[in-house]
Amino acid sequence: MPNTPVNPAMQEKISNIQNSLREQKIDGWLFYDLWKRNEFTQRILELPRHQMNTRRFFYFVPASGEPRKLVHSIERYNLDHLPGEVAIYLSWQSLNEGLAKLLKGVKTVAMEYSPENAIPLISKVDGGTIDMARKTGATVVSSMNLVQLFESRWSEEAYKDNLDTAKILRGIVDRAFGFMKEQIRGKKPITEYDVQQFMKRCFDEHGLITQEAPNCSVNANSGNPHYEPTKEIHSPLHEGDWVLIDLWARKNKPDSTFNDITWVGFLGSSVPEKYTKIFDVVKGARDAAVDYLTTSFAQRKPVHGCDVDDVTRKHIVAHGYGDQFIHRTGHSITTDLHGSGANLDNLETHDERLILPRTGFSIEPGIYFPGEFGVRTEINAYITKDNEVVIPGEPRQQEVVAILK
C-alpha cells in the first residue's frame, strides 16, 4: 500500500507544534490512542474517521527534528498521512522496545495527562501508558496548554459566525418571553417543555443546531443548575412564577462555535424584591469578571481560568451567598459547547491554564436555593487576537424581565 502524501497544512501544523514545544521548553509531544478514546489525538492529528484504531499507536513530535511513529503491524498504514519515519511492532515486548527507542534521550514529554487529575478533561491517557512512558526515563508533563493552542482557538470566520449566532439567540430570548406572555394572558396552558420546544423551533427556523435541547426551569426547578425538562417530566407555568431559560446553539457548519446564554424573568408585571436582590448580586459578579478580564488583557497581564473564578466568587461571598454558588464561573466554548480550553474554575478544579487570545468561554455565576429558586445570568466572552474582550450578543441582561408587564 503506497504512502499517503503529507498535506502541506499538516506539515505546517507539525511545525507550529514544534515551535510551541520550544516555547514551553518541552522536548516533545507524545500522541497516543487506542479505540479513538483520545479525541485530542484524533482531531489534532486529523486521523481519518473511517480508519480502524484497534491497536495502540504512538506518534512523537520532537521540539526539533523529524517526528517518529510506532504502529502495530496490522494497522501499519494508519499514520501514513503524517510526516516522519515509522517503526512497526507486533508483540507487547516489541511495543515496549519500540517506545524506548522512540523516546531515547528525551527528558520531558507532553501527554494528555493531568497531575492528580486536576483537569479531568485533559486526562485521556491511562495511568498504565503513562507508566510505560516514564519507564523509558522521560518525565511526563501535561499537554494541557498545548491542547488549548491547537484545539480551542477560533478562526476568524468562526468568530464572525458566533456574533451572528449570539444576535439570533438574543432575539430568541425575547421571543420566548413573549410566547410565555401570550399563553398566560390568553389563559392557555403552558409548560417548561412547551417553552423548550418553542426555542428549539426558533433554532430550526434560523438553521442553528445544538447538542441538547434548551432549558426552561420554573420556580424550584431553577434551583437545580442542571435541571432539564422532558416530554415526560416538566412543570407548568403560571402567573407569579419565577422562570430561568438557558439556550445554546451554533450554526450548522463544521467550524462554527457555540453561543450559550441564560436569562431570568418573572411571570408578573413587577418583580418581587427577593428575586431582584439576588439577581443584582449575580449580575455584579458577572460584570466584575468582565471588568477584570478587560483590564488585565488591556495591560497584557496573564490571566488564568482560576483567577476569574476568584473574582466572581469573592463578589458573591462578600454578599453572604458563597455557599449558594455551587459551580464554576464558566467553561470553555469551541465547536463543542464545553470546549477544551481554560475553564473559569477554582472550585471544582484548580484551573491554572492561561486564557488565550482567540478563545471563547462562558461567564455564568449563579446563586441557588434548592427547593425554592435559582438565579443565573450567563454571557459569553471572546478574547480577540489583539487582546480585546468582546461580549457577543450585547446587551447583556441588566434586570429581571417582568414578563407580563
Dump pLDDT digits (tens) for 47-93. Answer: 998 999 999 999 999 999 999 999 999 999 999 999 999 999 999 99
Choosing from 121, 151, 181, the residue where a domain stops is 151
Choosing from 151, 182, 197, the residue where a domain stops is 151
- Which pairs count as long-range contacts for 368-372, CB under 8 Å and 24+ apart, including other chains? 368/222, 368/223, 368/224, 368/225, 368/324, 368/325, 368/326, 369/223, 369/324, 370/220, 370/223, 370/224, 371/220, 371/223, 372/219, 372/220, 372/223
- 218 with 334, same domain? yes
Task: Quote the pLDDT of residue 293.
Answer: 98
Dump pLDDT digits (tens) for 343-376. Answer: 999 999 999 999 999 999 999 999 999 999 999 9
- The region that residue 64 occupies, defined by phi over 0 for left and psi between -120 and 50 for alpha, beta otherwise, is beta
- 338 with 390, same domain? yes
Least Cα distance to 45 among 77, 13, 8, 89 occurs for 13
Contact between 102 and 28 under an 8 Å Cβ cutoff? The reply is no
Identify the three-state secondary structure at position 113.
coil
- 283 with 359, same domain? yes
Mean pLDDT value of segment 31-51: 96
Query: What's the first-to-final CA gap in the chain, in angstroms?
Result: 71
Task: Quote the pLDDT of residue 3.
Answer: 55
**pTM for this model (two decimals):** 0.93
Query: To the nearest 5 percent, what fractions of the chain are helix, strand and coil?
Result: 35, 20, 40
In-domain check, residue 1: no
CATH code at 213? 3.90.230.10
Task: Quote the pLDDT of residue 257.
Answer: 97
- 316 with 349, same domain? yes
Task: Quote the pLDDT of residue 2.
Answer: 45
- 278 with 359, same domain? yes
In-domain check, residue 2: no
The number of folded domains in the chain is: 2
CATH code at 126? 3.40.350.10
Query: Which residue range is the domain that position 193 belongs to?
Result: 156-402
Dump pLDDT digits (tens) for 148-206. Answer: 999 999 999 999 999 999 999 999 999 999 999 999 999 999 999 999 999 999 999 99
Task: Quote the pLDDT of residue 1.
Answer: 42
Taking all residues of the chain, what is their mean pLDDT, rounded to a whole number?
96
Alpha helix stretches (DSSP H) within 152-299: 156-185, 192-205, 273-298
In-domain check, residue 207: yes
Mean pLDDT value of segment 383-391: 97
How many CB atoms sit inside 10 A of residue 124's CB? Answer: 21
Dump pLDDT digits (tens) for 246-295. Answer: 999 999 999 999 999 999 999 999 999 999 999 999 999 999 999 999 99
In the chain, the percentage of residues whose pLDDT exceeds 70 is 99
